[in-house]
Amino acid sequence: MPRVPVANPSAANRAQLFSQLAAMERAGLPLLQALATVQLPAALAPAMAHWRRQLEQGRELASAGQLCGLLSPLDASLIRAAQASGCLATLLQRLTQRYEQQARQRAALKSRLLMPLAVLVLALFIQPLPALVGGQLTPAGYLWHCLQPLFALALIYGLGRWLWQRNERDPEGQGALLGAVLARLPLLGDFYLRSNLRDFFATLGLLLEAGLPMLDALPRACATLRSRPVRLQLESLAQRIETGQSLAQALAPLQFPGRAVALSLIGTGEASGSLPASLQRYAASETARLDSFREQLALWLPRLFYAAVLLWMAQGILGSGAFNPPALP
């Protein structure tokens, strides 16, 4: 059986992909023709070719894209929902905007981390110099002393990135553990849960706007949730709604971030007959909150890293005894 090429697109690559697909969807091009004209970096070409072959064999668009790694499970769930509701172009444009924002924030974070990282590397090579000059370290020992912390940081970064990608690709399997840990972290846990709920309410509003009944839309919206505990809670909504409760009444017993605002907007939307628009407004407000958190993270994380490096350098200087008074004869 031939090996399936699995891609690892960046946020910028995903934005590029969805932007082109949205333009071609609005132009009315068939999916196969649209995928054949998408221009992405050469590293993603094998995955794109496999995606097209899967479509030619009759496989569904979202499943084929997820299989080759070009679509995350969340992207695939949203695309299935959008195809069912007949508003694929709208969703693709929203995904384009979301990934463009993520790409800008990640680029800003990387650029801001360059200076503290350069200071750290400089400090690692300067701190053991006296020991090298004094003969306590051999040249090989000096080099290992300098590079060992960098290897450790690279290993931690690589492991964290691998776990995050695993959670994105397989939130139900091995990635579920990371999702459970993220949900319990201070600040990051709230961000993770809010992003899950934002996707749920945005998808539900999209489906209701397209005319799907609530009981048909709820399972499709729940499929976008990566957090298993949150999904188990929200899957119980259908049972309450079947008994005659409104969506706001069904949500009332549940506890989740942003609950008060969600219940207020949903209750108003149900009373005025504009529930889909209210759900989209709530999702838009949560998107703004999440984007603001990412901006603050990109602003403060480099500062905290820089402060940690300076404190480590100060501790090394003070611990070296350079400022101790000389011993009396």
Query: CATH number of the domain that 46 lies in?
Result: 1.20.81.30
Percent of the chain with pLDDT over 70: 88
Q: Identify the weakest region by mean pLDDT among 9-23, 221-235, 267-281.
A: 221-235
Interval 249-273 mean pLDDT: 90
- Domain-embedded: residue 299: no
pTM: 0.69
Q: How high is the pLDDT of residue 322?
A: 47
Angle subtended at Cα 146 by Cα 297 and Cα 144, rounded to the nearest 5 degrees: 130
Listed residue (109, 110, 74) closest to 95, CA to CA = 74
pLDDT at residue 263, rounded to an integer: 92
What's the structural domain count of the chain?
2
- Confidence grade of residue 176 (pLDDT, cut at 50, 70, 90): low
Answer for the pair 102, 74: CB distance below 8 angstroms, yes or no. no
Q: What is the pLDDT of residues 3-52, one digit of tens each?
A: 666 778 888 999 999 999 999 988 888 878 888 888 989 889 898 998 99
Q: Is 284 a member of any domain?
A: yes
Q: Looking at residue 264, what is its pLDDT?
A: 92
Query: Rounded mean pLDDT of 87-110?
Result: 84
pLDDT at residue 328 in the model: 46
Give the pLDDT score at 294: 81
Question: Which domain-ending residue is among 29, 63, 98?
Answer: 98
Confidence of residue 1 (pLDDT cuts 50, 70, 90): very low
Taking residues 175-200, report their average pLDDT: 75
Give the pLDDT confidence score for residue 323 in this predicted structure: 47
Give the pLDDT score at 282.
92
Of residues 210 and 247, more confidence is placed in 247
Q: Tell me if 62 is assigned to some domain.
A: yes
Q: Which residue has the tokens 């949203």?
A: 78
Q: Please report which residue ranges of the chain form alpha helices under DSSP H.
A: 11-27, 31-37, 45-56, 61-67, 73-85, 88-126, 129-133, 139-169, 176-184, 188-209, 214-222, 228-235, 237-242, 247-251, 259-272, 275-319
Tokens (6 digits) for 193 = 């849960």
- Count Cα neighbours of 30 within 13 Å in the Cβ-side half-sphere: 5
Residue 177 inside a domain? The answer is: no
Residues sharing a CB contact under 8 Å with residue 16, sequence separation 6 or more, in sequence order: 39, 40
Average pLDDT over residues 237-256: 91
152 has a pLDDT exceeding 70 = yes
- Pair 95, 18: CB distance under 8 Å: yes
| pLDDT over 90 (residue 157) | no
Average pLDDT over residues 116-135: 80
For residue 135, CA distances in Å to 66, 125, 242, 297 come to: 57, 16, 80, 44
Please state, in angstroms and rounded to a whole number, the distance separating the CA atoms of residues 36 and 27: 15
Query: Is residue 79 situated within a structural domain?
Result: yes
Residue 267 has a pLDDT of: 92
With cut-offs at 50, 70 and 90, classify the pLDDT of residue 185.
confident
Mean pLDDT of 269-292: 90
Instruction: Confirm whether 110 is domain-assigned.
Output: no
Cα 44 to the center of its chain, rounded Å: 20
Question: What is the average pLDDT value for the chain, to the nearest integer?
Answer: 82
Q: Is residue 57 part of a domain?
A: yes
* C-alpha–C-alpha distance, residues 257 and 222, integer Å: 17
Question: Which single residue is written with the structure tokens 């840990």?
Answer: 181
What range does the domain containing 73 cover?
11-98
Per the CB < 8 A criterion, the answer to whether 225 and 231 are in contact is yes
* pLDDT at 317 exceeding the cut of 80: no
- 76 found inside a domain: yes
**174 has a pLDDT exceeding 60:** no
